[in-house]
Amino acid sequence: MFKYLLIILLSLSSQLVFATAQQPDTIVIDGNELPLNTNPLDDYIESKGWQPPEEASIWSSNWRGYIAKWEVIAGKLTLIEASILLKGHPIDEPKRKTIISDLFPKNHSLVAEWYSGALIVPDGEMTNYVHMGYGSEYSNYQILRVNKGIVIEHLSFTSKQFEAYQNRKFQSFKESEKFKKEFNELVTGKDKWSEEDAIHFLKSFYSEYYLSL
């Protein structure tokens, strides 16, 4: 559902402007809490059919309706907390409510066994603010490749190294049938995206997929 909502929102602008920079989840790595520009909980939430309750406040910088905190513990991606922001509280005194028991009513293991992909972790100073999704750029990045909740590779890059790494991975992805199918749907579909916009969108949207390959 999130995928198609995002496509609809982005198709409203030829410049692919997603209304607001999004508030990221956080992840603790070696004792350091960092922003996480990937949302590993989304697939699980969608599979459970969970929707933000009426008491949840949905705001422009958090369209998904929740914030999660993660930690890498003994090489496993572990969910520490997930919560919603409650309506009726001032911005300077926000109140949050956990949704862990709603999502995991049977004491399900909080190791993210449902998730496989690449976690993109900004690690350094922001060098370029972009008022769109997770578009802002940073001086350094960490990439964690995850397979069914297990961290199988942990990489560190400068911004230039990350850009080169991402470009190499994306070029390989462009040769896949998955890319060709999605690209064709965008450029020949109802909205008839330009090739440039379609490539820009797919490079951003599928980053956690092709960076994990």
Domains of the chain: total: 1
Contact 141, 38 (CB under 8 A): no
Would you place residue 5 in the very low, low, confident or very high pLDDT band (cuts 50, 70, 90)? very low
User: Cα(121)–Cα(207) distance, rounded to whole angstroms?
Assistant: 12
The mean pLDDT of 174-201, rounded to a whole number, is 94
CA 27, chain centre distance (Å): 12
Q: pLDDT, tens digit, for every residue of 59-110?
A: 766 778 888 999 999 999 999 999 988 887 776 777 889 999 999 987 767 9
Range from 100-104, 115-119, 131-135, 195-199 carrying the lowest mean pLDDT: 131-135
H/E stretch holding 209 reads helix 207-210
- Residue span of the structural domain in which 146 resides: 2-210
Question: What pLDDT is recorded for position 11?
Answer: 43
User: Cα(156)–Cα(73) distance, rounded to whole angstroms?
Assistant: 18
The shares of helix, strand and coil residues in the chain, as percent rounded to the nearest 5, are: 30, 30, 40
Q: Look at the pTM and tell me if it is higher than 0.85.
A: no
Question: What pLDDT is recorded for position 85?
Answer: 85
Q: pLDDT, tens digit, for every residue of 22-37?
A: 788 999 999 999 999 9
**Greater confidence, 90 or 187?**
187
**Greater confidence, 16 or 32?**
32
What are the structure tokens assigned to 148, written together? Answer: 């069914």
Question: What pLDDT is recorded for position 132?
Answer: 59
User: Percentage of the chain surpassing pLDDT 90?
Assistant: 59
91 to 31, 55, 85, 161: CA distances (angstroms): 29, 15, 10, 38
Mean pLDDT of the chain: 86
Question: What pLDDT is recorded for position 14?
Answer: 35
* Close Cβ partners of 101 (under 8 Å, ≥ 6 residues apart): none
Question: What pLDDT is recorded for position 21?
Answer: 61
The mean pLDDT of 147-160, rounded to a whole number, is 97
Contact 144, 34 (CB under 8 A): no
Greatest CA span in the chain, whole angstroms? 50
Range from 2-11, 97-106, 185-194 carrying the lowest mean pLDDT: 2-11
Q: pLDDT, tens digit, for every residue of 125-141?
A: 988 877 656 778 899 99
